[in-house]
Structure 1
Amino acid sequence: MSLNNQVILITGAGGGLGGTAALALAKQGAQVVLLDKSIPKLEKIYDAIVNAGGPEPVMYPFDLAGATEAQYQDMADAIEQRYGALQGLLHSAAELTAYTPIAIHKTQDWGHTLNVNLNAAFLLSRVLLPVLQKSAHASIVFTSDSAARKSQAYSGAFGVSKIALEGFAKILAEELEAGGKIRVNTLVPGPVNSPLRKKVYPAEDKSTLPEMDSLAPIYCYLFDAASLGITGQIIDAQNFTL
């Protein structure tokens, strides 16, 4: 139980990777705050954690794209009031409408995707930094995509958001490194049998892909003491060994 007494907030906790991370971290004793706009999905991962014997999680229904700055701040204030400090923040929420040529990319889809994948990560990180800094050590983990560094055709707003997110994570890591309290890293999960992967590659043979729970050890590593001092890194799950 290497994460006992650690409070970790997870966005997109009702999704495939977010739920996988939430369950893995809770099994190690973490008190997880589950953030997602879908209450049924939150309830599903809540039940999975409780049934696995993890600490009872907290569900926080929240629309990353639609929330105001004041609502983001209210969330941060509520977490500080309840826990006093925060030891982890996992940005796992992702929006991908479809792979689309730029020539026909809808403006509404472009804006919504950037709001969820990039702007929300900025806002949430900013309002939670004071709460994270109240911990002796804390970890922020962003979730990118293996296509980000390839600038893959048709990846549209999703591809742009992940390219920008990796840059944002590096800037934040450099700004916080001197303080020695908060480490910031980016996880590239690689091809796994996730709902998002199924949406992008519906004809792919998913039996050849690793299951999502294969990422559990990496999620635990990024939030437990083993990763202290590791910051500003892009960690590719396919090439990473513990």
Structure 2
Amino acid sequence: MSLSKQVILITGAGGGLGSAAALALAQQGAEIILLDKSIPKLEQSYDAIVAAGGPEPMLYPFDLAGANEDEYLELAAAVQQRYGSLQGLLHSAVEFSSYTPLAIHKTQDWGHTLNVNLNAAFLLTRVLLPVLQNSDHAAIVFTSDSAARQAKAYLGAYGVSKIALEALAGILADELEAGGKIRVNTLVPGPVNSPLRKKSYPGEDKAALPTPDSLAAVYRYLFGAASLGVTGQIIDAKTFEI
């Protein structure tokens, strides 16, 4: 399933699932745009891809929560100018502060979490849609969370953002389906030994969990030819089979 000449932008590409996805897709020949606010982490992902023999990726330091709309438009213009088109967009960046009752949820934490997990995903998708539509086929993948898909106590802004993100993906998939160019799906990774998991379940034995690179096959599927025509779906990595 070669992804040669496919350009895929990945948010949160400096670590966790984002960097694992970047490496997996680059190993199939994709040219990756690595987007994260941490330059050292971006450089680590860059080095891993180059060491594995993947195409040289593009580094784009970017603060999803702090950037204004003009900066998002500048990002889209930079992608358009360098590549002309975009074949994939993976929303992997995530913000989680803590499990918190709504009664004492800090306004700042609420706003920041929604900005990273939901508002940034909307705005980045919106500004990149024209670049994605320059491709014959393109894929947008949002990342949800099996633990946050129901309205459970103490999930706070994180839970709200993930529930809303799935709705955003569904609405977008429905709007774009008639065009036949852009497929939109949501990935539910399940429990994975990632930085987010370490923060949300600090007492858990992480050695028993799958590593982020265990998701390589599902990322290849979602951005590869095998998923052409598949849109508006929620893909659970735990039950995924090609």
- Per-residue deviation, 1:148: 2.9
TM-score by length of 1: 0.99
Aligned pairs (5 A) from 1:229-240:
229-240=229-240
Q: Does 1:103 align with 2:94?
A: no
After TM superposition, which residue ranges in structure 1, 4 or more long, deviate above 4 angstroms?
none
**Letter aligned with residue 22 of structure 2:** A
**Letter aligned with residue 198 of structure 1:** K
For residue 147 of structure 1, give the secondary structure of its aligned residue in structure 2. helix
Counterpart of 1:155?
155
Q: How far apart, CA to CA, are the structure 2 residues paired with 1:170 and 1:114? A: 18
> Which range is displaced more, 1-10 or 165-174?
1-10
Structure 1, unmatched stretches of 5+, are none
CA RMSD of aligned residues (A): 0.7
Question: Residue 150 of structure 2 contacts residue 163 of structure 2 at CA under 8 Å; is this kept in 1?
Answer: no
- Per-residue deviation, 1:99: 1.1
Question: Residue 6 of structure 2 contacts residue 86 of structure 2 at CA under 8 Å; is this kept in 1?
Answer: yes
**Letter aligned with residue 173 of structure 2:** A
Q: How far apart, CA to CA, are the structure 1 residues paired with 2:99 and 2:44? A: 29
Q: How far apart, CA to CA, are the structure 2 residues paired with 1:149 and 1:62? A: 28
Aligned pairs (5 A) from 1:57-206:
57-206=57-206
Structure 2, unmatched stretches of 5+, are none
Question: Residue 144 of structure 1 contacts residue 166 of structure 1 at CA under 8 Å; is this kept in 2?
Answer: yes
Counterpart of 2:40?
40
Q: Deviations over 1:183-225 (max 9, x none)?
A: 0000000001111101110110112211111100100100010
Counterpart of 1:7?
7
Q: How far apart, CA to CA, are the structure 2 residues paired with 1:97 and 1:15? A: 17
Question: Residue 15 of structure 1 contacts residue 93 of structure 1 at CA under 8 Å; is this kept in 2?
Answer: no
> Which range is displaced more, 149-158 or 67-76?
149-158
Counterpart of 1:56?
56
- Per-residue deviation, 1:15: 2.2
Counterpart of 2:28?
28
TM-score by length of 2: 0.99
Q: Deviations over 1:60-83 (max 9, x none)?
A: 000000001000001001100100
- Identical aligned residues as a percent: 77
Question: Residue 191 of structure 2 contacts residue 209 of structure 2 at CA under 8 Å; is this kept in 1?
Answer: yes
**Letter aligned with residue 210 of structure 2:** P
